[in-house]
Amino acid sequence: MTDYQIKETYKNWMSRPLPADLKAELESIAGDSEAVSDRFYRDLAFGTGGLRGVIGAGTNRMNIYTVGKATQGYADYLREQTAVEGSPAVEESPSVEESLSGEGLPSVVIAYDSRIKSEEFARRAAEVFAANGIRVHIYPELMPTPSLSFAIRHLGCDGGVVITASHNPAKYNGYKVYGPDGCQITTEAAKAIQGRIGALDLFEDVKRVDFDRAMKAGRISWVGEDVVDAYIRAVSTQRFCEDDEIDKNVSITYTPLNGAGLKCVLRALRENGFSNIHVVPEQEKPDGHFPTCPYPNPEIREAMELGIQYAKKNGSDLLLATDPDCDRVGIAVRDDRGEYVLLTGNEVGLLLFEYICRRRIACGRMPENPVLMKTIVTIDHVKKIADRYGVQVIDVLTGFKFIGEQIGLLEKKGELDRYIFGFEESYGYLSGTFVRDKDGVNASLLICEMFAYYKTQGKGLLEVLNDLYDRYGYCLNTQHSCQFEGAAGFERMQQIMSRLRQAPPKEAAGRKVVSVEDYQTQEKRFSDGGMEAIQGLPRSNVLKFWLEGGCSFVVRPSGTEPKLKLYFSVSGEGRKQVGELEQQLSAELMKYLGI
C-alpha cells in the first residue's frame, strides 16, 4: 500500500464501532506513522499455513475481522467446491435465514488451542461459516491440532480450521486451514482461497450469524466425546509392545507448556499402561500468556528448564514436552552424570525410525515395500537406516502437509499400509495414517514406549543414539533463524533470496558447492554447467546447496513467521570435527548474506 492508502485504511478502521481493546490500540498509535504502517501496510498473508501474525488491530494483525474475512473466503471456496445441482450459486450466497433453515452445503470442524483469543476467533469463524450455509462441528474445549485432522476424516467433513500459532511467542495467533483429506491445504487451494479473500471487504462483505442462535438452529454443534474416544483408540493402535514385554512403571515427567496437550496425551499414556506420570504444575493448565516459558517451543532449552527441574525432583529419566497445539514433541533424557540432555528433532526421528523398523519386524508387522517420508531439510542420514531395513525414502518440501499429501497418494493407490513413519526436523512425527499431520499425541505414546523398551533392556536413549552414530557415522543438523520484522524486513528477505539465486556462493567452509537445487524454478544446477529438472514437488521459494563430502545447507523464508531459516547438515569423522565445520559453514554463510 502507499502511505496515502495506509492512512485512509487507518481512518476507516477508526470510524468503525470496534471492540474496546482494538479501538484503544489504534488510538494509542495516532500520529505514529511507523506503528500505523506496520499494522496496515498489507493484509495478513494467507498461504498453505493459513494465517499467522501478531494479535491486534489492523489488516496485518490477527483479530476478529481478519479471521472473519479469511473464513468468508474459505466459505466461498468450500461452497464452490461442493456445489451440487439445485444449490445456490456461489455468487448467490444464502441469506442468514436460508442458511439456518436449509441443509447447507459443506461441513467443517473447528478446533482451537490455549492462545490468547483462540476461543473467540474459533467462535467468530463458526459464526461466519454458519451464516454461509455451512454446518459447523466445533470442539467445546481446547484440543490438539492432530485431533482436528482426525475429526475431519472421522466425521466426513469437507474441511476444517484450527486456531493456533503453534510454538510462537504469546503475542501471536494463527488460523490453519485443512482440506477434506485431513491435510493442511495445498498450494493450489491456498491460492484459490486467497483469491476469494482478496476480493472481500473485511467490514462489509463478511456474513455472520450469532453463535447461540446458530447452535439452537442446528447449524453449529459440539464435537462429541465419542470423537475424542475414537482418536485415542486410533493412537493406541501404534503400540509395538505388549504390556508384559516392558516395564511401564517408568517415571515420566510431562509438560504441555500451558497448551492443549494435557487431556489427550495423559489419556493416551494412561490407557496404554503408563501410570507413573508427573505433570509440571505451573505449566499444566491452559494459559496463552505462557508465564513460565515466553517461547513455548520444546526445541529450545529455556522452554524446557522448568520441566527439567521437576524431572530431577521426580527422579524421571525422561522429560516429555508438547508445544501449545500439541503437534510437536520435545524430550530431554538423563545421562550417566545425572544431567538432562535435550535431543533434537532429527535425533528423536532417527531413534523412532530405528525402533519402529525393529519392532515391526519382531511383531511381524513390517509391510512389503515400506515407506518413510521426510522433508528436504530433515536429516539425510536416516537413509542409511532405511537402506538397512529395505525402506523406501520419499523426500518432500518443508511442511508436514506434504507428508500428509503423500500418504493420501498411497491411499489412492491402495498402498496405505506401506507407510510406516514420517518426520521432520522441527519435532514433528507420525507413525499412523489416521491423522494427516504431525501428531504430538501419537509421538508421545511412541516415545514413551520406546524409552521403556530400551530401559527394560538396560539401555538409555543416549546410548542407543550413540550406537546408531557408531554404526552409520556422525551427522550434525542445525537450524539458524534470522528475524525480519515489518515491511522492511519482508523486503530484505526477498533481496537475500534473489542474491542467492543470481550470485550463489561457489564454495563454503573450504568445500566446493557441487550443485544447487532451486525449488522455485524446479531446477538442479551443477557446478559444471549441467542442469536437471526436479520432479514431483510443487514450486517453493527454497534453495538447497550441496557441498563436497555430502554436506548441505538450505535457505528458505518461513511460511508462517517473519524469519529466514537456514538449515545445515554436516557429516564427518567425529563430533568435534563436525561441530567445528558447522560453525565455520554457518559463520561464512551469515557473512555472505550480510546477516
Catalytic residues, which ones? 166
Residue 435 CA to residue 149 CA, distance in Å, equals 6
* Longest CA–CA separation in the chain, Å: 72
The distance in angstroms from the start CA to the end CA of the chain is 27
Q: What is the number of helices (H) and of strands (E) in the chain?
A: 19, 23
Please answer whether residues 78 and 134 qualify as being in contact, where contact means their C-beta atoms are separated by less than 8 angstroms.
yes
Residue 318 CA to residue 518 CA, distance in Å, equals 40
**Residues whose CB is less than 8 angstroms from the CB of residue 429 and which lie 6 or more positions away in sequence, other chains included:** 329, 348, 349, 352, 421, 422, 423, 438, 439, 442, 443, 446
Alpha carbon 364 to its chain centroid, in Å, reads 32
Angle, CA 406 vertex, CA 330 and CA 134 arms, to 5°: 90
What CA dihedral angle connects 203, 208, 210 and 212, to 10 degrees? Answer: -140
Residue 567 CA to residue 547 CA, distance in Å, equals 13
Residue 102 CA to residue 527 CA, distance in Å, equals 63
Residue 438 CA to residue 534 CA, distance in Å, equals 25
Residue 46 CA to residue 519 CA, distance in Å, equals 20
Alpha carbon of 410 to those of 60, 361, 415, 509: distances in Å? 38, 21, 5, 41
